[in-house]
Structure 1
C-alpha cells in the first residue's frame, strides 16, 4: 500500500542514453471487511437463519445467503463435501474491497473432512483444518476452478494430502500465509521419509502471489511453480524428499527471501529451467541438501545475496547438462557456502562457457572443511580459494571461514533424511565473516559495524521468525 519513485537510467556505449523517474505503488495488505454481517454456521444439511441461536446448517446452506462483506463463523465440528466431486465448493465471490470470509469461530475446532475447491475470487479462508486420510489416496487438499483472483488462505492446517494447495485451474494475487502443511506419504510405498511425495503449495504457473510464514513438511517439494511477480518469504520448509522451493519455468521478478530450509533430500532451490529473469534469493538459510543447495539446469539473471548455503557434500554441485552456463549468469555476493561433509565448496562444470557481462561472483565466504581441494571448476581442482581466484578472476574478495568457530549453532549430525534440529546459524563476534561483505543498494544498508556481514543474519540484529506467527487452532495443533 505504498507509493514509490523509481529512477531508471539506461545508457548504451554505442550511443544514446535516457533517464526516467516513474511512480509505482505496491498492493495493500488484504483486510477483513468491517461493518458486514456476521453469520453463524454449524455442520448439517440445510436450514437455519445464520443467527447464533439458529445457525446455518452446513456450508452449502450458508453459501446460498452469502454476499460481499459477510463473515461466516464456523463452529466446531466436521464439515463434509456437497458438490458432485465430494468437495466443499466455494463459488460465491466477494469484491475487491469486501471479501466473503469463512473462518473458525473463536475457540472452535473446525475440520473439513473433504477437499476444498475455490471457484470464486475475493474470498478469505482462516482457521480450518482441511483433513485428508492416511489410509486413503487423498490427492488434493485445496484446488481451484475459474482462475479466482485475490484469495486469502490464512492460518489453516492441511494434513495427509499429496498436493495440499494447488492452483490447478489458475488463480492470481493470492495471499497464502501462516498455514501448516504436513503432507502425505505415498500409500503405495512403505511409510518413511523416502515415500513422501507431492507438493506443499503448487502455484501452477500463476502470478502475483505472496506466500509467507507457512510451515511445510513431509512432501516432495515445498513451494513450486510461480510464474512471475511472486514473493516467497519467512517459510519454514523441512523434511522434504526433493526440493525446498522450485520456481521452475518461471519468468520475471520471483523473489525468495528469509526462508529456512532444512533437511531436504535433493536441492534447496531449483532452476530447471528459468524462462526469464531476474530472480532474487536473499537472506535464506539452507542446510544441508544431499545433492546440492542449488539445482542448476538452465539459468537467466539471478541475484544471490546474504544466503547461507550448507550442502552435505558440495555446497554448490556441478551444473547439468554441461552445456548451460549455470552460476555464470548469477550475481553472488555476501553468501556463505559450506560443505558439511568436507567436499568441494563449489563444483561447477559449464562446458566451454566463460564469465561474461552477466557474471559477478565476489565477496562470498567458503568452508570446505578438511577437503584437499576448495574448488573444482571446469574440470580443474584448486586447493585454495586464492588459487581459484588467480586462475579465474572470480571471488577476488572471497574469504575462507570455519564453521567450528564462526557460528552460534551448527548441528548437522548426519546426511538427510536423518533429522536435524531447527537452528539459527548466526555469526559469533570475532568470526572473519563479520563486516566482510559489500554494500548492495536497497538490500543491506542497515548493517552494523564497518560493512555488511556475510550470511543471512547481521550481528546484533533481531533474528527472523519462520513459519506461522501464532497459535491458530484450539484442537491441539500449534506451532513449536
Structure 2
C-alpha cells in the first residue's frame, strides 16, 4: 500500500503519455503508466492515470474507497477515459494525452481514506501495475488559531479603551512601523502565527493626503508581503465588537496578497475598489493558502482575482460578494458612447482562480458580468504542478450575471461544480470553453432563467470531458448545439420556455463515445427542429471535421431508434416541479421595450421549489450512479437536482 503525503504526488514508472501512439498498427491492449494523485481538497480526491495503447478505447478503471479502518468498500464513479481529443479553437488546439482521470466526491474533511483503482481491458493489460491501493487524507478546513502574538488595530478617532499592543491602522500593525507615504521601513513585522484583530469602524484613507495615518498614499492599497505557514497562518480578523469596513475610496485594488502566502481574512467588509482582493495575476505572481471567510466584498469591479498558475489551496467560503451592475434586469448589451450596442462591463466577476486545490463554497455572488470562474490561461501547462486541477466549487448561490454563472474555461483535470444555484444569466449558465482535458463535473446544479444562450455552453471550443449528472436547467436551449468532444449526460432536466428558436435537445460531438440518456426534456409547441444530433459516422471514434450534416428528429423515440441515444429519456414540463414558473422572455420584452439595450427580466428564487411533484414521470426515472446518488429513495433515483423529499442543499453563506 502506498502512503501519499500532503504534496499528493506519486510517480510510478513505465510509459509516459508522449510515447503512446508510436506504432502504425493498432495497439488495443492497454499499458499502465504513471499515476498522479492531485492535491486533496476538503471533500474530494482526484486522480490521473496515464496509459499507452487502448486504441479501441475499451479499457476502464474502476474505483472503490473506504474510510481507513473500515471493512466494506464503496463504489466510486469510474475514471473517465481521455485521449487524442482536439480541444480548443483554431488558434489554440490542444491534443489531450491518453489517460484516465476522475474524482471521488463528497468525502469528509480531514479524514484518511483508502482508495483502490483497478485498470482492466478485454484486450489485456500488457505492462505495468493494474491495481493501486492508496492511503490519502482529505484536507481539514483551515482555522484561524491564535498561536502567535495578537495585535489590535483601531480606527482614527477611537475613543474607548484599547487593548495592547494597539496600532493605528492595519499597515502599522502588519509592518510594525507607523509610516506614511513611501516611508516603508519595517521594524517589527508580523510573523507566522500572529493574529491582527481589527476593531469596529470604517478604515478609509484619504489617498491624496501625503500623511494619512493608514499609510495608503495615492495608490490606496494594503500591500501585504510576509508569509505565514499552513500550520501558522497570518490572520487578519474582525475583533467582534462591531462592523469593520475597509473602504477603498475608488482604489484600483484594495488588498494585494500576491506575495503573501497563508493569510486568513475573516469577518469584515471590503468595498469601493475595482479589485477587492488581488491574490494572483497571470504570468506575474500569486500566493498560496489564502483563506477568505465570512467577509462582505461589495461595490467592486472584481471580488477576488487569483489567476496565477502557482496559486494553491485557497479556501473561499461564506462570503457575500456583490458588484455594480444593474440590479433590476439582465443587461446583455447597451448603447455605448459611439451609439452602437456594446457589452459594457462595470463589474467583471465575483471570483476567478487558477492553480490547484482550491475550495470555493457557500458564497453569494450577485451583480457581476460573471459569477465564479476558472481562468482561461491558454494551452495546458506542461508541468503538472502548474496546471489547473482539483478545484471544487460547491453550494454557491449566484444571482444576476450578465454573462455566465460559472466558467470552467481553461481548467485541465478534475474540476468539480457541485450543488450550486444560479438565477438569471443573460449569456449562458455553465461554460466549458475550452476545458483542456477533463473531466469537469456538473452535478446537482440548478440554473434558472438563461434567456439567450444554452445552459451548458462550449461554442466551437471542443472541450475535453464533460460529466453532467442530476442538473436542472431552464434555458433558451438545454445544451449547446456547438461542438464538444467527450461527454456523459445522465438524470438531467432540460426545460425550454416557449418561443425559443433553438433545438431543445442539441448535441454536436466530435467523438462517438459521447452519450446521453435518462434525461427529461420540455419541448415547446411550434419548434421546427426540436432535436438536432451531430456525431461521427458509425465505426469512427473521432471526426475532427464533421463534414456531414446533422440529423434532426421530432421525438425522443425517433432519436433513440436512429442513434441509440436517449433510450430512457422522457418529456416533462414545469408542472413536474412543486413550484417553478415558466419564464416568459418574449412577453416581458414586448412590455418593456428599450431601444438602447438588449435586456431581459429577472426572477428571484424565493418561493420556488425544484422538488418533483408527486406523480411526476421523472420520479424514480433516473439511473444509478455510484458516489452521486447513493442516497436515492424509491425504486430508482429521481431525475433532476433534488431527490424525493430530502431537503434542498443550503445555497450560499451558512452565516
Give the aligned partner of residue 453 of structure 1: 638
Query: Cα–Cα, structure 1 residues 407 and 388, in superposed 2: closer, same or farther, change >3 Å?
Result: farther
Find the structure with the greater CA-based Rg. Answer: 2
Shift of 1:385: 1.1
Shift of 1:465: 1.1
Q: Which has the higher strand share?
A: 2
C-alpha separation in 1, matches of 2:344 and 2:614: 39
C-alpha separation in 2, matches of 1:281 and 1:117: 32
Query: Cα–Cα, structure 1 residues 184 and 55, in superposed 2: closer, same or farther, change >3 Å?
Result: same
Whether 1:214 aligns to 2:338 is no
Q: Is the 8 A contact 2:523 2:530 kept in 1?
A: yes
Match of 1:181 among 313, 316, 321: 321
Query: Cα–Cα, structure 1 residues 405 and 14, in superposed 2: closer, same or farther, change >3 Å?
Result: closer
Give the aligned partner of residue 149 of structure 1: 288
Whether 1:15 aligns to 2:15 is no
Give the aligned partner of residue 73 of structure 1: 197
Query: Cα–Cα, structure 1 residues 104 and 30, in superposed 2: closer, same or farther, change >3 Å?
Result: same
Deviations 1:195-235 (A, max 9, x none): 544111111x3221000111111111111125211000111
Give the aligned partner of residue 467 of structure 1: 652
Shift of 1:20: 2.2
Give the aligned partner of residue 184 of structure 2: none
Whether 1:162 aligns to 2:296 is no
Q: Is the 8 A contact 2:394 2:417 kept in 1?
A: yes
Query: Cα–Cα, structure 1 residues 376 and 360, in superposed 2: closer, same or farther, change >3 Å?
Result: closer
C-alpha separation in 1, matches of 2:639 and 2:526: 22
Can you give the 5+ residue segments of structure 2 that lack an aligned partner in the other structure? 1-109, 177-188, 206-213, 249-253, 327-333, 376-387, 535-549, 587-598
C-alpha separation in 2, matches of 1:406 and 1:199: 31
Whether 1:339 aligns to 2:496 is yes
Query: Cα–Cα, structure 1 residues 72 and 163, in superposed 2: closer, same or farther, change >3 Å?
Result: same
C-alpha separation in 2, matches of 1:41 and 1:188: 46
Match of 1:314 among 477, 493, 498: 477
Give the aligned partner of residue 514 of structure 2: 359
Whether 1:56 aligns to 2:167 is yes
Match of 2:617 among 432, 447, 469: 432
Give the aligned partner of residue 462 of structure 2: 298
Shift of 1:76: 1.8
Deviations 1:47-98 (A, max 9, x none): 9xx9526621111111124232222221122224635632012222222112
C-alpha separation in 2, matches of 1:459 and 1:411: 22
Q: Is the 8 A contact 2:498 2:584 kept in 1?
A: no
The structure showing larger relative contact order (alpha-carbon pairs under 8 Å, at least 6 residues apart) is 2
Can you give the 5+ residue segments of structure 1 that lack an aligned partner in the other structure? 133-137, 471-480
Give the aligned partner of residue 348 of structure 2: 198
Q: Is the 8 A contact 2:454 2:479 kept in 1?
A: yes
After superposition, the CA RMSD in angstroms is 2.7
The TM-score, its normalising length taken from structure 1, stands at: 0.87
- The count of corresponding residues between Structure 1 and Structure 2 is 450
Whether 1:376 aligns to 2:536 is no
